[in-house]
Structure formats: C-alpha cells, structure tokens
Structure 1
Amino acid sequence: MLPLLFAATLAAAAPTPATVTVHADQPGLLLPADFVGLSTEKKLMTRDCFHPKNQTLINLCRTLGPGVLRIGANNVDSTFFTRDGQPPRESMKDNRYVVDPRTIGTEAVDEFFAFARAAGWKVIYGVNLGANNPAMAAEEADYALQVGAKEILAIEIGNEPNLYPKGPKREGIRPGNWGYPQYQAEFTATADAIVAKRPQAPLTGPALTKSTKWMPLFLADFKSRVVLATSHVYPLSAPETDPQAQRFTSIEKLLGEKYLDDWAIKLADAQAVGVPYRVGECNTASGGGKRGVSNAFASALWSIDFLFDVATRGGQGVNLHGSFTPNNYSPIVYDKKTETYGAAPLYYGLLFFSQAAQGRLVASETKCAANFVAHAVRGSDGKLRVTLLNKDLAQPVAAQLDLGAAYKTGHVLRLTAPSVDATAGVTFAGAAVTAEGKWTPQGTEPLTLTAGKATVTLPPASAALIIAE
C-alpha cells in the first residue's frame, strides 16, 4: 500500500506551507445545482436495476443532491426498443458487460423514469444510432418523452460515433471510409424523425471521444437543434502497459498530471456558438478502469479536482461512468453475493463535491510547492465553502487561509482513507455512506478565524472542506 502520513505521524514530516487567499467579494460563475451526474450502459435497462422500489440505489442518488443520470454509452447502439410485448428482465446477479443485442419494451422505460423521479434526478436518455433505424429511435424517444418529459434533460442520439468506422484495432460498425459527412446525414435523419413526432424534443450529441475534430463540425451543423453538446473524458488508459506512456494508468499520473487539451477545447468550441457543454461520460481510465487506481481512494481525490476544473471553465456538469461492477471504476457497485448496492471510493468524490459546490465560484489564489490545490464557492446563504485538496503522496500541507475579515467562524469536514490506494474505509466528515445509501456527517472540526485567517493541516492524499460564515 502507498503510505499516508496522517495526523498521528505529521510530526515526523514537516508540513509544506501553502497560502490560500479567497476573494469572496469577487463572485464568478454560478454552479448548476445538477452539476453532479452518473453515466451507465443502456443494457442495464434490461436488468432488475432501475425501478422505483430499488430504495438503496435511489438513496445513493438522493444523497448526492440534484443530479443527471445519463443512460446510453457503448450499449446504446446495440439496444433496441419495441412497443410490442415486454422482453424478460435479467437479474443483476448476472450483471456483466455484454455486447450482444438486447431489446427493451415500454415497461423498462416506465420503471426507469419512475426510478429517476424517485431519485429527483434529470435524465440524458440515449437512443440507438448504430442500427441506423430512425423510425425505431423516434418511436423510443416519443415513448420516453410521453412518460418522462419532466425528467428528460435531453435525448442523446448514438454514442462515440467517431469510433463507428472499422479500423486496424477496431471492429467498428461502419466501413472504414465512413466519416463525419455520413454521420451528419444519419444524425440528421434520426433527429428529423424524432422531431416529427415531438417537435419540442430536446436533443443532444455528439458524445465524442478524445482525439477527434468533429465537435466544431457538429456544432456548425446542429447548434440550433441541440440543447447540449457532450463529449467523453478518460485521461488514462487501463490497457496501456508501458509505464512511460502518457496514458499509463497509475496513481501518480492520475493525481500528478492534468490533461486539458481535449475536453477543454471541445468545451470552448461549444461556448463559442452559445451551446451548453457537459462531460457526458467520464472516469479515470478507459477500458473499464484499473484495479488499485480506479477503484481506490485516489479516484475520489482526482474526481473532486476534475469536476472543479470543468466547472471553472463553464461546463454544465460531469457524468461519471460505471455499470455497478465491483473492482473497476464504478462510483456505485453491486455485490452479487449480498445483492446490495454500495458506495465505492469514487462515490465519495461526488459526495464531497456536492457539499462543496453550492453557489458561485469565487476568485482565489493558491501558492504551494507540494501538489496542492484549492477551490472556493460562496453560497446564497452567505457561507464560504473552500475545498483544500492535497494530492501529494508524501507531503502533508499546512494551508494558511485568508478568507476575508467578514468570516469569523467555521468548521472542517475531512475526506480520508487508510491509504491512497485503499478500496475501503473511506469517510467524509467522520462518516461512511451507510448500507442504506445515506450519509450524515459525524465528525466536523470547529475552526476559529482571526481576521478571517486560520491554518488547516492536511495529511498526504486527503481533502478538507472548510465551511465559513
């Protein structure tokens, strides 16, 4: 295990000093209330998963506050819809990633939206583009809007179409010479079919991966037809075996490096034409994640900083992907032995962010020689929420805060784990998420501010949320 120097051992290593100066009187962007989100595979609608009696899973969503559930991903293009009959549901005890086709009926759609309604979450609902059957996609979108119009944020057409063409290392679902012009024609046909049935249907796309230049082309063609632009982000690659490769998956790379060149460009493309942007699918490493990294506490620390990075640039939210499979990158996992849902370490990153990102971003300045960052938000309640994130694997940090003289008192909520690669034992504010999917803070530390100043020390690989008033 990678050792952490927690409070009992801080004396053995002198903390690296940091200064965090917050300008609460310089408000910036208002953070969307539903910034936090989850993404999952469409074929989970063929399992006994998303239904209004799955109380633990509902609680796990509600514990994060308002959010967006995106259903689609790779499986969307091999999931079919019919109004004729109700295909049998499969058990979550057999949950696994499948590539063979599945069909859903109206009952599955009814239960999915009843689940979303109970959770209080909005939905990005994916329909099949891979089959190139606009009539079927329109029929499904029509029924989804019939039963879930209040929950639907957008109808997403297809998934990662830039990967449809056959390639040297990719089987593909289109010929190798299939490109953006062909995609544009297929997207148009499906969008036209949906709008013919539902003229006000909110549409989204293109759900692209990295390393493609299709986003500006898509926006030029469809900026007046979509309510949201999306792309996918996986900074690292689980299949990569070369430790020297840029995308080799390790805790050191996950916490030590940032990869802004791709998603930030797509976000800027959308902003340039006035279309909101959301990271529709995201996680630590492509290929299902890597054990010891994606399912470890490090993923929680990474997610907090990544979500703030997207928010700071004006993104509308981030959907972390997973299909409830233990030991990979899923924020929520399903235990087949106990038949229960639970919070993985990554979930705690979403939980932390949901508590920290309430209001408007405010200007702040951070100086530190260690791998340490800070983010600040001022709420409509006047409280200042400051995120302190020590991503350094060896150095504790003593952060000297200057929040402004108006702030007199506060408290500290710490996010900790036994080690940075721990897969269990994570707590936030002294409490773990319960077996029922709920969380209640148990251990907050009082913080006295003198002229708005105080010092908070963080062990390596940990985070703290300061709430000041």
Structure 2
Amino acid sequence: MSDHPSRPTPDPLPEDTSQPAAARTRPTPRVMIAAGLATVVVLIGAGVGITALTGNDEPAATPSISASPSPSTTTTSSAPAATTAPAPTTEPAPEPTDPLPAAPTAFYEQAGPPDGSPLEAVEPMTIAVSAEPTGTELPSNLIGLSLEATDLADPRMSGDNEEIVSSLTGLGRPMLRFGGNAVDRRFFWTSTDEPIPGNLSGDDAHPVRAAGPADLERVNRLLEAADATISLTVDLGNYDPARAADMTRYASEIFGDRLVGITVGNEPNGYPTNGLRPSSWGISDYLTELSAYAEAMYAVAPEVRIVGPGTYAEAWWEPFAQADLPQEKILSFHHYPLSQCDGANDPLGEPIMENLMAGPIHDRAQNYRDAAMAPAKEAGLETWIPETGISACPGSNETTKTHASALWSVDYALSAAEIGIARLSFHSSLLTCVGGPPMSAICSGGPYLQPDATFNERANYYGLSMVAELPPGAFLQNTVDGGGLAYSYAIEHEDGSISVVLVNQNDPEVSAQTDVTVQLPAGARTSAMTQLAGPSYGAEDATVIDGQPAPPVPAADRPAVPGFVPGAESVELPVTAGTVSVLTFTF
C-alpha cells in the first residue's frame, strides 16, 4: 500500500471472516500539541531512589506489595568426641547472599482518571509471570517506518537533518523500508541520469521522482546518523530485471550491512486490478518474473536477501516460501486490520473506534499473522511485516491521530513479536501534518504541499517508541486473569532483569483504575516504571510518556514501582485506564 488508498482487504481466514541491553538516551522529538493524559505503564527492573514523575497534581493511590524474603542463616554443629580420629571431611561452603538494597524512597506517580469520570469498576487483574520462555524473542530492531520509494529522492532524508535523525532515533534502531504504491507507478531508478519515462504519472501530492546513486549516498548518511537499516523495493510493475539489478548493485555497495533486504514489486497480488498486469496474470506469472529478477540481482549482489511476496493475499505466501531462488529469502506480508472502509461486508473491519478498542481486532490480527507464519516456519524463513497500520482506507477516520492508535500500536507490535515476527514497519509519510496522510507516525511542518525540514510525531509514534525502548530479550510465558480490555507481555533481558508490559486499553473516560497483581518468578531486588498515557481514546496530540511528549526517559532515571519492597515476589498496584505501563525488575 502507499498513500493510504482504498484497496481490497485480505481474503478472510476461515475463523475470522475477513498478526538486555542498556536503555538508550534519545533526543526529544517535537510534538504538535500536548494535552491531557491517558496512560500506558511499563515496568522495568532498574535503579532505585529516583525522582518521581507525574502527569497531574494528584498522587496515585499507594499499592501494597507482598514480600517474604527469607533471611540467610548459617548453622554449625560439632560431632561428639571419638577415640579414633575420623577421616577428614570437607563441608561445602555456604553460598554468599548479597544483601537486599535499601527500600526506594521515590515511586512512580500515575496520572489519575479524568475528573468527573463515571469510574465504572474493572475486574481485578492478575498477571502470573513464569520463568519458562515462549521460544520467541523481542529483537532490538523490531520497530521501523515504511515510506514511499520516491522518498529516496527527498533531500530532507539526510544525516544533516537533525529533525529526522531525532525522530528515527526515538524508534531505537529502526528499519526504513522504501516501497509503497509509488514503486511501480511513480518511481524511476537510473544510475546514468536517463530521462523519466512518459508512462509514469503522478500528481501534486504524489509526484513522479527519479533516484540514483547520489540519493542512496545521502540516505546512507542518514542511516549512519540514526543507526538505522534499510530495505528497498524494486519496480516490478514495469518489467526490467536489469534495472533492478543495477539498483541492487549500487545499494549493496553503498549501504553495505545496513541493507537488510530488497522486495521485488509492491503488492503484486493487486496488479491485475490496478492495471499493471492483465486480469489473467497470477501467482505462476509472478514466480516466473520473480525468478528472472532474483537471478539478475544475485549475479551482482549475491549476499542481498529477497523479501517477499509483500502481499495482503494469503494464497501468495506459500508459493513464495517454496520458490527456488539463489539468494536467501524472507517471507513478508502487509497487514491493515481495519480496511473494510464502509463496513458493509465486514462490520468488525470498519475503521471506527468501537472496533479499534475491542477484543476482536487483537484476536483477528493474531489469526491472520499465524496463517502467514505457517508457511514461513515450514520453510525455515524469517518473517516480516514491512508495511502495516490500523487501516488502508483513504483520508481521516475516527481512529487516526488518536491516543487509541498509540495503545493499539503497542499491543500490535508486541503480540507480533511474541509469535515470531522479526520486523515491523508502520507505513508513514514525509508530507505535511496539515493535509498529509493522518495515519502516518511522523509528519512534516509547513503548509500543505510545502513541507519544511521540521518533523513532528503523532500519538502512534509514541506507542512505537515505548516498544523500541525495551531492551531485547526472550519472551516469558505469562497468564492473565481479569482486567477487562488489557494485555500483558513479559520479557527477560540478557542481564536477567524482567520487563512486564501492561497495555490497559480500558476507556480512560469511563473506567476506574484496575487493581493489578503481578506475580514474579522470584523475589525482585529493584524495580522501575515508565508509562504512556492520554485523556481519552479520541484525544489527538495529547499522548505523553512520563508526563512529556517524548520517548521514555532512560531506565536509570525511572522511579520505582509504587510501594515496591526489595525481595518482593509480587506487587499490587492500581493502573489507570488508557495507559501502557512498563514495569522492570532486577533479581
């Protein structure tokens, strides 16, 4: 997809009718407007004695902690005297026990529910974290952005532009994927300054652009400044394997290891309906053309992986997974869960708030992504979603630019990673905030169609930054009871610390705080907390993290989980609705 046009949605699945490294200090990106709060809580094990953060002037209720650390004791006994000296024995020395740290003096202060809220009770929630891993991992580079291929020619995509560097570094080590509808319709690669062919056409908002080696050199400086990687897409709509190989060769030489893959064509399953191929063209034709591209690309850059098929139709996934190509493959698919634009054929797929903040979108996404993972697992392939977002429907709807989109983004990203998705790129735009695609996580300043070099971040960006901030690690099994519309994830990091992420999607304007009990696999020595919040589902430009429109503060600067006692094996605290909380514990 690109430019967020209307397009067919994926074929429905049978069951759903229609997917410890130290924290980094990042520059603080801009936000357009900061307003009230709805929260996301993240608990991460970290230091203690830290200044408390708050999103309002009212302190949260003090939770209780159950702790029963066992004192370390050593007993010595002597044997009775004997007339004959026994053979000497060696007693094992007792294991030294580090004393528990002092109790913290500063605790995280959540934003409370909005004044005058009806405060409907939410069933208490218990999260039991196991020491057993799920077998999947949270990578350090999960989160990325998807842009149009024509954005390669945008001079603002440069390491000299501190604005875009700041936005990207707030997403960890992101992958920039360049593709979208522009690839086959408005993008022309040339290493010899050829004129743009006359068959390509665009408009004022989506002009035809050519790109060449100098553009790749400039983008590479951006990747270096932001410590990012790149995935490209070559034009398949206008069949030309030699030109694709030429672009691949230059990209490999310029980007080196930062080039993580190249896709052949954008959503080729849509070619027969968008005029790029005749109506009879299908999967077998695609595989024939893909093979020709792969051979030409392998001849000049054998180390570059092919990513594909990049479709939103299930029937294409297994044929790609089984395709015999000379280079390594990665299975990819696109996913926009709420793309039934008028809701006529699938009311649960309409992009409305009632569907976004509801259980079915989570469950249906898991079913769809599991279906894509099946052929990938059978073929032993890594799996990516290089283009995703809430909806592919054009224009604004009641889900775009909202705090609810931040809540959804966190749950979508973590639930995808937990089943084994290695990379996610959320489709975005370099167009202006005014008049540009409202689904985009970032947007530029300036009047419509007159973008400047500044960039702003929308609510969904802050949700993504919460996920990107998490150190890599292994997902742990955890069971949840109660909590209403809420999801939890547990990750054990390389240093042994555990982060518990609670996505509380209950309505912040209606729901009372949820009494949450987190049961840990062992007594924790320290704790720390960070939280994303907002005043309502529909609030725009009002999402904050730790009270600020910025990515999370460094782990070392986070206050302790409210009421935490060193040695505790469980913690109890009320959690505000409409928040994402990360609780981190060390052991």
TM-score normalised according to structure 1 size: 0.89
Structure 1 segment 311-322 matched on structure 2, within 5 A: 311-322=417-428
Distance 1:335 1:87, change over 3 A: farther
Residue 417 of structure 1 contacts residue 424 of structure 1 at CA under 8 Å; is this kept in 2?
A: no
Aligned residue in 2 for 1:206: 309
What amino acid sits opposite 2:583 in the alignment? Answer: I
Instruction: Give, in whole Å, the separation in 2 of the partners of 1:268 and 1:67.
Output: 26
Deviation at 1:287, TM superposition (A): 2.6
1 or 2, which has the higher strand percentage?
Answer: 1
3-state secondary structure, aligned to 2:422 = coil
Instruction: Give, in whole Å, the separation in 1 of the partners of 2:36 and 2:344.
Output: 21
- How far does the alpha carbon of each residue in 1:387-424 deviate from its partner, in whole angstroms, 9 at most, with x for none? 11111224332211111332143122111012211111
Aligned residue in 1 for 2:542: 425
The correspondence for 2:439, drawn from 296, 309, 329, is: 329
1:461 and 2:578 correspond: yes
Distance 1:185 1:54, change over 3 A: same
Aligned residue in 1 for 2:416: 310
Residue 22 of structure 1 contacts residue 376 of structure 1 at CA under 8 Å; is this kept in 2?
A: yes
Instruction: Give, in whole Å, the separation in 2 of the partners of 1:87 and 1:113.
Output: 24
Aligned residue in 1 for 2:514: 397
Deviation at 1:71, TM superposition (A): 0.8
The correspondence for 1:342, drawn from 446, 456, 470, is: 456
Aligned residue in 2 for 1:284: 390
The correspondence for 1:58, drawn from 161, 165, 177, is: 165
Using CA pairs under 8 Å that are at least 6 residues apart, name the structure with larger relative contact order, 1 or 2.
2
Aligned residue in 2 for 1:116: 223
1:295 and 2:401 correspond: yes
Deviation at 1:85, TM superposition (A): 3.1
Identity of counterpart residues, as a percentage?
A: 24
Structure 1 segment 53-452 matched on structure 2, within 5 A: 53-78=160-185, 79-85=187-193, 97-98=205-206, 101-166=208-273, 171-209=274-312, 211-222=313-324, 225-237=327-339, 239-240=341-342, 242=344, 245-256=347-358, 257=360, 258=362, 259=364, 260-288=366-394, 290-325=396-431, 326=433, 328-337=438-447, 339=452, 340-356=454-470, 358-368=472-482, 370-393=484-507, 394-395=510-511, 396-433=513-550, 440=553, 444=559, 446-447=561-562, 448-449=564-565, 451-452=568-569
Distance 1:324 1:376, change over 3 A: same
Distance 1:220 1:345, change over 3 A: same
**Structure 1 stretch displaced more, 228-237 or 282-291:** 282-291
Instruction: Give, in whole Å, the separation in 2 of the partners of 1:63 and 1:430.
Output: 16
Deviation at 1:2, TM superposition (A): 12
Distance 1:402 1:223, change over 3 A: farther
Instruction: Give, in whole Å, the separation in 2 of the partners of 1:83 and 1:224.
Output: 25
Distance 1:243 1:414, change over 3 A: farther
**Structure 1 stretch displaced more, 351-360 or 64-73:** 351-360
**Structure 1 stretch displaced more, 320-329 or 75-84:** 320-329
Residue 37 of structure 1 contacts residue 320 of structure 1 at CA under 8 Å; is this kept in 2?
A: yes
- How far does the alpha carbon of each residue in 1:136-160 deviate from its partner, in whole angstroms, 9 at most, with x for none? 1111111111111221001111110
Instruction: Give, in whole Å, the separation in 2 of the partners of 1:114 and 1:343.
Output: 22
Deviation at 1:255, TM superposition (A): 2.3
What amino acid sits opposite 2:112 in the alignment? Answer: A
3-state secondary structure, aligned to 1:374 = strand
Instruction: Give, in whole Å, the separation in 1 of the partners of 2:181 and 2:422.
Output: 22
Instruction: Give, in whole Å, the separation in 1 of the partners of 2:408 and 2:538.
Output: 12
Say what the alpha-carbon RMSD is for the aligned residues. 2.7
Q: What is the number of equivalent residue pairs in this alignment?
A: 454
What amino acid sits opposite 1:467 in the alignment? Answer: T
TM-score normalised according to structure 2 size: 0.72
What amino acid sits opposite 1:342 in the alignment? Answer: N
Point out the structure with max Rg over C-alpha. Answer: 2
Residue 308 of structure 2 contacts residue 332 of structure 2 at CA under 8 Å; is this kept in 1?
A: yes
Residue 28 of structure 1 contacts residue 363 of structure 1 at CA under 8 Å; is this kept in 2?
A: no
3-state secondary structure, aligned to 1:149 = helix
Aligned residue in 2 for 1:91: none
